[in-house]
């Protein structure tokens, strides 16, 4: 496995970044759902809303991080995880960008943080993808 990771450095770096991001997101939303939901401009109506925050931000983030890690270890192809992460990250970024215009959310503090951060993350993943394909011949 170590040899596979050494020959796929760009995809491995991207996969590690994606897993850390998703597993970190899972930990904070499962452990402190109300605190972090408020920072994301969300506030649940009742206890079920608190559970939904744990499930959708915590549980799904945990599942995504675990899934990408398993893709790398089971198939020994970190490039698969990179492609999966690109699909997810681009979908989230462009959905956020589109609906920020629709919902007129530009003035919100969270949006001012999320758009540039997610945009930078997407660009970094595309750079890893380009290096994996052009330099490391991942395809």
Per-residue DSSP letters for 85-104?
HHHHHHHHHHHHHHHHHHHT
pTM: 0.88
**Nearest CA to 58 among 82, 36, 25, 106?**
25
Domain extent listing, the chain: 2-134
Per-residue pLDDT of the chain (139 residues; tens, 9 = 90+): 777 667 789 999 999 999 999 999 999 999 999 998 988 888 899 999 999 999 999 999 999 999 999 988 888 889 999 999 999 999 999 999 999 999 999 999 899 999 999 999 999 999 999 999 999 998 8
Q: How far apart are CA 85 and CA 90, in angstroms?
A: 8
Considering the chain, what percentage of its residues have pLDDT values greater than 90? Answer: 80
SS3 44: coil
Beta strands in the chain, from DSSP E residues, in sequence order = none
Both tokens of 133, joined, read: 């394909």
pLDDT at 15: 94
pLDDT at 73: 86
């Amino acid at each position: 496995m170590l040899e596979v990771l050494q020959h796929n450095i760009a995809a491995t770096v991207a996969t590690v970044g994606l897993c850390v991001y998703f597993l970190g997101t899972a930990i904070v939303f499962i452990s402190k759902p109300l605190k972090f939901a408020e920072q994301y401009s969300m506030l649940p109506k009742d206890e079920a809303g608190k559970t939904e925050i744990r499930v959708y931000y915590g549980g799904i983030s945990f599942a995504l991080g675990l899934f990408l890690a398993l893709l790398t270890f089971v198939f020994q192809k970190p490039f698969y995880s990179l492609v999966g992460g690109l699909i997810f990250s681009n979908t989230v970024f462009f959905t956020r960008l589109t609906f920020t215009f629709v919902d007129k959310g530009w003035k919100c503090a969270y949006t001012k943080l999320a758009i540039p951060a997610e945009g930078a993350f997407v660009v970094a993943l595309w750079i890893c993808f380009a290096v994996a394909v052009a330099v490391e011949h991942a395809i």
